[in-house]
Chain A
Amino acid sequence: MRKIFIAIVRAYQIATSHTAPRCKYYPSCSNYTATAVGRYGLKGFAMAVWRIVRCNPWSQGGVDYVDEHLDCADVKNLLIDNEKEVVGAN
C-alpha cells in the first residue's frame, strides 16, 4: 500500500517536472509526502496533508524535513565524513 502510494507521488513528480519549481518548502511537498508515508504510513499521510495546507500563498516556506535529525544536509554530510574516516583508518 505504501509502495503504491509512493509510486503515485513519484508519477506526479515526473508528470509535473516540466513546469517551473513550485513548492515553497525544501524538500518539496511531494518529496515530503513520499518520505513521510514511507516512514510512518497513515500518520505520515496526515503529516503530508498538513504540510500541503501549510504550503499556501501566505506562508513563507523554508526548510522543513520529516525528521530533522535524519534528513538534514549537515547530518548527511557528517555521516559521509565519518565513513571516510573509517575507510581512512583501515
Chain B
Amino acid sequence: MSFILNPLYDIVSGVIVAIHKALAPIFGANSGVTWSLSIMGLVVLIRIILIPLFVKQIKSQRALTALQPHMKEIQKKYKDDRQKQSEEMMKLYKEHKTNPLASCFPVLAQAPIFFSLFTVLNGIAKNKPHGFLKGDYLVSAAQAKFFGAPISQSFLGSSQTTVKIVTVLLIAFMSGTTFTTQRQLMVKGMPKMDSSNNMMLQQQKIMLYLFPIIFAISGVNFPVGVLIYWSTTNLWTWGQQFYVIKRNPTPGSPAYEELQRKRAHKAKLAGKTEEGIDQSEASEPEVLGQRQQPKKKKKKK
C-alpha cells in the first residue's frame, strides 16, 4: 500500500509546504493563518483541477432537453420494469453520445488524497514526518493555531476547551453546508419526480437529516486541519452548485423553469424599453416551454 501512498504524501505535503512558503512573508512562518490557508489552498487547487470535469457534465446535462421526448417514451413503455427502464435509458444516452451523470472515478480518486491528508496532518500531531512536511516545518505546523486551536489536535484527543469549541463549530459548519447543498439540489436542482420515484425521494429525505449526524460522529476523531479541509471542500461544493442552479440548471428542474420565467420577463422588459433594437435577441427567450437547443445531435445508427 505504501508505494501508492508515498507519492501522495509527497504531493499533499509538497503543496501545503509550497503554499506555506509563498504566504510566510505575509502572515509569518509560524502563524496559524499561514498553515490554515495552506490547507485551504490545497482544497482550492484540487477543486480547480476538477472544474473542467464539472463543466463537461453540465454541458451534457443541457444536451438532455433534446432527448426528453425519447425519455418519456421509455418511461411509458417500461413503466412496470425498472431494470429495463434504466437499461434503455443508458442505451439512449450512449446512442446520443451524451451522459448527464458524473462518473465514479473522480470521486473515488479523491478518497486517497483525503486519506493522505489525514495521515499527513495526523503526522503533525504525532511528530511523524511525511513527505516534505518535516524538520522545522513539522515543528512550526504542530503549534500553528486555527482560531486558538492547534490544527493537529482533535476533539477526542485534546482536553483544551478551545479545541472542543472550534471542532464543534467546524463540524456544525460542515453539516450545515452539506445539508443546504443537498436540500438545494433536491428542492430546486433535480427534475421533478413523479409518483414512481416517490419512495426514493422519501429515502433521500431521511438521508438528508441523517448525514449531518454521521458527520458529527466521525468528525470528533479528526484533527482540526482535516476539518478545515473538509469544511472548505463543502463550502466550495455549495458555491459551485449554487452558481450552476442559478445560471445553468438541469432541464426539467424547478430552477430551470424559474430561470426561463426570469429570462422571458427580462426579454419583455427589454422589448418595452428598447423597442426594435434587440428584436432578434429579445424574441428568443420569449418562447416558453421547451427551448430550442443550438446543437442537436443526429441519431446514429
Which residues of the partner chain A approach B87 to less than 8 Å between Cβ atoms? 26, 63, 72-73
**How far is B105's CA from A56's CA once the two chains are assembled, in angstroms?**
5
Q: How distant is B18 from chain A, measured CB to nearest CB, in Å? A: 27
Q: Within residues 78 to 126 of chain B, which ones have a CB less than 8 A from any CB in chain A?
A: 81, 83-84, 86-87, 89-91, 93-94, 97-99, 101-108
Q: Which of B8-16, B135-143, B206-214 contacts A (4 or more CB under 8 A)?
A: B206-214
Closest to B89 in A: A26
Which residues of the partner chain A approach B211 to less than 8 Å between Cβ atoms? 15, 18
Q: Is the CB of A20 within 8 A of B190?
A: yes
Interface residues contributed by chain B, number (CB under 8 Å): 35
Cβ-based interface call for B192 (8 A): no
Q: How distant is B173 from chain A, measured CB to nearest CB, in Å? A: 19
Which residues of the partner chain A approach B89 to less than 8 Å between Cβ atoms? 26
Question: Knowing A56-B106, A76-B83 touch, does A21 contact B90 (C-beta < 8 A)?
Answer: no
Interface residues of A (CB under 8 A from B): 14-15, 17-26, 28-30, 52-53, 55-57, 59-63, 72-74, 76-77
Cβ-based interface call for B247 (8 A): no
Closest to A18 in B: B207
Q: Is the CB of A57 within 8 A of B93?
A: no
Which residues of the partner chain A approach B57 to less than 8 Å between Cβ atoms? 57
**How far is B220's CA from A37's CA once the two chains are assembled, in angstroms?**
33
Q: How distant is B48 from chain A, measured CB to nearest CB, in Å? A: 16
16 contacts between A and B (CB under 8 A): A15-B214, A18-B182, A18-B207, A18-B211, A20-B190, A22-B103, A23-B101, A24-B102, A29-B104, A56-B105, A61-B90, A61-B99, A61-B101, A61-B103, A63-B87, A76-B83
Interface of B is mostly: helix
Question: Knowing A22-B107, A56-B106, A57-B102 touch, does A62 contact B91 (C-beta < 8 A)?
Answer: yes
Which residues of the partner chain B approach A30 to less than 8 Å between Cβ atoms? 104
Cβ-based interface call for B56 (8 A): yes
Which residues of the partner chain B approach A25 to less than 8 Å between Cβ atoms? 90
Which residues of the partner chain B approach A20 to less than 8 Å between Cβ atoms? 185, 189-190
Q: How distant is A17 from chain B, measured CB to nearest CB, in Å? A: 6
**How far is B107's CA from A30's CA once the two chains are assembled, in angstroms?**
13
**How far is B244's CA from A20's CA once the two chains are assembled, in angstroms?**
15
Q: Which of A18, A72, A76 contacts B208 (CB 8 A)?
A: A18
Interface residues of B (CB under 8 A from A): 53, 56-57, 81, 83-84, 86-87, 89-91, 93-94, 97-99, 101-108, 182, 185, 189-190, 203-204, 207-208, 210-211, 214
Q: Is the CB of B185 within 8 A of A62?
A: no
Most buried by B among A18, A21, A63: A18
Q: Is the CB of A62 within 8 A of B103?
A: no
**How far is B261's CA from A13's CA once the two chains are assembled, in angstroms?**
37
**How far is B256's CA from A60's CA once the two chains are assembled, in angstroms?**
25
Which residues of the partner chain B approach A74 to less than 8 Å between Cβ atoms? 84
Q: How distant is A72 from chain B, measured CB to nearest CB, in Å? A: 7
**How far is B57's CA from A63's CA once the two chains are assembled, in angstroms?**
19
Q: Which of B56, B90, B108, B214 contacts A52 (CB 8 A)?
A: B108
Which residues of the partner chain B approach A18 to less than 8 Å between Cβ atoms? 182, 204, 207-208, 210-211
Q: How distant is A50 from chain B, measured CB to nearest CB, in Å? A: 11
Q: How distant is B222 from chain A, measured CB to nearest CB, in Å? A: 17
Which residues of the partner chain B approach A14 to less than 8 Å between Cβ atoms? 207
Q: How distant is A74 from chain B, measured CB to nearest CB, in Å? A: 8
